[in-house]
DNA sequence: AACCAGGCGCATA
DNA sequence: TATGCGCATGGT
């Protein structure tokens, strides 16, 4: 990965395969918005960003080297070699197909609390509504950064709320889970910011002390928020793929990067026309 | 107008 | 240990 200044912007050139759209819109993060001009916008760690892809590379608007190195290099996981990760899966027929379809995905290193809270909200829910709830959560309780941008509210901020006060989010039964998570994280009862160093099983055990956090949500928090690439969340789509394509068992169950494989398979199963239920009349021709 | 949504907690056996 | 159901709400 290299970068060069372009006025007040930074042009980032990845020698590895990288798709901005696939990465930001594959269901791992819920706060990225594609604008009418094709540029993506979000806020990470209270830093707003507009970013877009060109022939030359990815342009980070209003970003200097210092900011890029402090926030975005880590967030986009640019220090990880996804080429070698993909290569470790390339002998497998279905993962090869999945990677042909969406091999430009990188796993974002999201802020741990935001990831945990987001995937609590995701349970028994659909992506448009998840995004709506999270958007309202930020505008109601995050810091106003101007220009319509808000930070994600901290665990400390939400820990002092009562579930009823979250009613405007229209999160339903999940409101009480958000508050319980905020309290256990801010008190240190769940050491969210130490889980990265712990074995996967210990992280899962700690997170599942939170009401409304089971194996799936805990796995997502560890994978997307704590950089645990060996976490392997199994949702309905991954369950389908395991049953349909790997009836004799998933061959990468011991891979330290099986979470990356999970993300490829999830996106492939949901959106590829290789699967009949995804094929509309239009693209059937 | 039912049915479903990147699940989980609880009751039942 | 294993299933099944209710849960709030909105989109289709």
Q: Is residue A283 predicted with pLDDT exceeding 80?
A: no
A91 CB contacts (<8 Å, ≥6 apart)?
Answer: none
For the residues of A42-104, what is the DSSP string, one character each? Answer: EEETTEEEEEEE-SS-EEETT--HHHIIIIIHHHTTTTS-HHHHHHHHTTSHHHHHHHHHHTT
**Distance (Å) from CA A90 to C1' B11?**
45
pLDDT in tens, A34-85: 999 999 999 999 999 999 999 999 999 999 999 999 999 999 999 999 999 9
State how far the Cα of A130 lies from the Cα of A124, in Å rounded to an integer: 10
How far apart, in whole angstroms, are the C-alpha atoms of residue A255 and residue A42? Answer: 32
Confidence of residue A277 (pLDDT cuts 50, 70, 90): confident
At A51, list the tokens: 């970013």
Find and list the nucleotides of strand C having atoms within 7 Å of a protein beta carbon: 7-12
CB count within 10 Å of CB A69 equals 12
The β-bridge relationship of strands A33-34 and A9-13 is unpaired
- Angstrom distance, A124 CA to B1 C1': 21
Task: Return the sign of the alpha-carbon dihedral for residues A232, A236, A237, A243.
Answer: positive
CA angle A109, A69, A37 (to 5 degrees): 75
Alpha-carbon gap, residue A220 to A213, rounded angstroms: 10
The answer to whether the beta carbon of residue A170 comes closer than 7 angstroms to any atom of strand B is: no
- Measured to protein CB atoms, the chain B nucleotides within 7 Å are 4-9
What tens digit of pLDDT does each residue of A144-196 get? 999 999 999 999 999 999 999 999 999 999 999 999 999 999 999 999 999 99
Tokens of residue A214, six digits: 């089971």
A231-CA/C11-C1' distance, Å = 30
What is the C-alpha separation between A168 and A163, in angstroms, rounded?
A: 10
Q: Are A133 and A97 in contact (CB under 8 A)?
A: no
CA distance A165 to A140: 11
What pTM does this model have?
A: 0.96
| Residues of A annotated catalytic, as ranges | 216
CA-to-C1' distance for A59 and B8, Å?
Answer: 41
Closest residue by C-alpha to C1' distance, nucleotide B9: A212
* Nucleic strand B under 7 Å from the C-beta of A259: no
Question: Residue A153 has what DSSP assignment?
Answer: P
CB A134 within 8 A of CB A119: no
């Amino acid at each position: 990965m290299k970068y060069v200044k372009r006025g007040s912007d930074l042009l980032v050139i990845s020698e590895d395969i990288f798709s901005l759209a696939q990465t930001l819109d594959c269901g791992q993060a819920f706060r990225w918005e594609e604008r009418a001009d094709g540029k993506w916008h979000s806020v990470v760690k209270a830093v707003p960003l507009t970013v877009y892809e060109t022939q030359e590379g990815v342009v980070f608007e209003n970003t200097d080297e210092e900011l890029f190195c402090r926030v975005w290099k880590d967030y986009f996981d640019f220090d990880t070699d996804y080429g070698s990760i993909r290569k470790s899966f390339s002998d497998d027929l279905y993962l090869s197909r999945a990677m042909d379809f969406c091999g430009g995905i990188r796993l974002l290193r999201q802020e741990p609390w935001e990831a945990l809270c987001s995937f609590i909200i995701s349970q028994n829910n659909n992506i448009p509504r998840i995004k709506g709830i999270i958007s309202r959560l930020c505008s109601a309780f995050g810091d106003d950064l101007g220009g319509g941008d808000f930070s994600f509210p901290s665990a400390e901020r939400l820990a002092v709320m009562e579930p009823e006060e979250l009613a405007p989010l229209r999160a339903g039964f999940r409101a009480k889970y958000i508050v319980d998570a905020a309290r256990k994280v801010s008190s240190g009862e769940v050491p969210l910011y130490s889980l990265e160093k712990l074995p996967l099983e210990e992280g899962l055990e700690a997170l599942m002390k939170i009401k409304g956090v089971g194996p799936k949500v805990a796995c997502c928090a560890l994978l997307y928020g704590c950089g645990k690439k060996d976490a392997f969340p199994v949702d309905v789509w991954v369950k389908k793929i395991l049953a349909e394509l790997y009836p004799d068992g998933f061959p990468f169950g011991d891979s330290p990067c099986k979470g990356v494989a999970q993300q490829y398979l999830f996106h492939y199963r949901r959106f590829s026309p290789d699967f009949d239920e995804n094929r509309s009349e239009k693209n059937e021709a």
